[in-house]
Amino acid sequence: MTTVLDVQRFKDDGRRFAVLTAYDFLTAKILDEAGIPVLLVGDSLGMVVLGHPTTLPVTLDDMLHHAKAVARGARQALLVGDMPFMSYHASVEQAITSAGRFVQEAGMHAVKLEGGGRVIEITRRLTELGIPVMSHVGLTPQFVHQMGGFKVQGKTDAQAAQILADAKALEQAGAFSIVLEGVPSQLAARVTKALHIPTIGIGAGPGTDAQVLVLHDMLGLTTGKAPKFVKRYANLAEEISRAATSYSDDVRKGTFPGPEHEYSANGSAPAKDREEVKYGPG
């Protein structure tokens, strides 16, 4: 099983690694079996699965529900649960309780928190208590209203210096890795050089130790235009639409179900016709 020590070793050995988001049992199982070493149950769930315009409406209960499903599907990957908006903002105690639920109830191995500032102390307390923390700086979607939209961060010298300072303080507080989202490539490379822990980039160029993408974006399982930083490795939205249309045509024409999809009456039925009726991934 991949641990936080392994991801540190990846950086120490100069081995880049891939991180993907996962939100359900089956995709977690597929990604885990494909050898993705770190799976993030991201609060992007709110946007790509639940249909919200931002991640802000996502609740701790939403996250735990999906995290539990991911934990049932994955065997090898390091599982990271994303702490949603307002699950760690009120106090350090609230953060400990929320993070504890990710580990104790949902089977996560670590949690992710957005931001520096007050989150630095929360990071220190969680790691002291044995809950590994993945940090997240730069474009932090839970700050969407403060940023005035989903905008690239760290373009000015002052912003870049703040991001670097936050990253160093989060490392100092015990974070085992840090997501750098939506920042100029040069800044991401600079932060990566300055830190001992691995950096995980998204929209941060090629100079980080790892990359993360939202699963639905890289699978082409979205209806809108993908952001510039996304590479599409499949076009599942088109594939699903094509399959659904063919199925509908078959039903209308009466060509589905065919003889191979039928059951016979019991009694004289051959063994293959007495098989269990079962749905799902098996």
Can you give the binding site for ligand KIV, defined by CB under 6 A? Answer: 21, 40, 42-44, 82, 136, 179, 181, 202, 212, 214
Alpha helix (H) residue ranges in 129-254 = 144-147, 157-172, 185-194, 215-218, 236-253
* Torsional sign, CA 103, 105, 107, 113: negative
Backbone angles phi, psi at 202, to 5 degrees: -145, 115
Q: How far is the CB of 183 from ligand KIV (least distance, A)?
A: 13
Nearer to ligand KIV, 128 or 212 (CB): 212
Q: How far is the CB of 187 from ligand KIV (least distance, A)?
A: 17
- Non-local (6+) Cβ contacts of 160 within 8 A are 154, 183, 184, 187, 190
In the bound complex, which residue of the shown chain has the CB atom lying closest to ligand KIV? 42
Q: How far is the CB of 132 from ligand KIV (least distance, A)?
A: 16
Q: How far is the CB of 137 from ligand KIV (least distance, A)?
A: 11
DSSP state of 266: S
Q: How far is the CB of 89 from ligand KIV (least distance, A)?
A: 16
Nearer to ligand KIV, 167 or 202 (CB): 202
Nearer to ligand KIV, 60 or 252 (CB): 60
- Residue 165 near residue 115, CB atoms below 8 Å: no
121 is a catalytic site residue:
no
Nearer to ligand KIV, 151 or 274 (CB): 151
Tell me which of 93, 114, 181, 239 is the catalytic residue. Answer: 181
* Distance spanning both ends of the chain, measured CA to CA: 23
- Non-local (6+) Cβ contacts of 82 within 8 A are 40, 41, 42, 43, 44, 45, 63, 111, 112
In the structure, how many helices (H) and strands (E) does the chain have? 11, 8
* Cα–Cα dist 161/163, whole Å: 6
Nearer to ligand KIV, 114 or 171 (CB): 114
Catalytic residues: 181
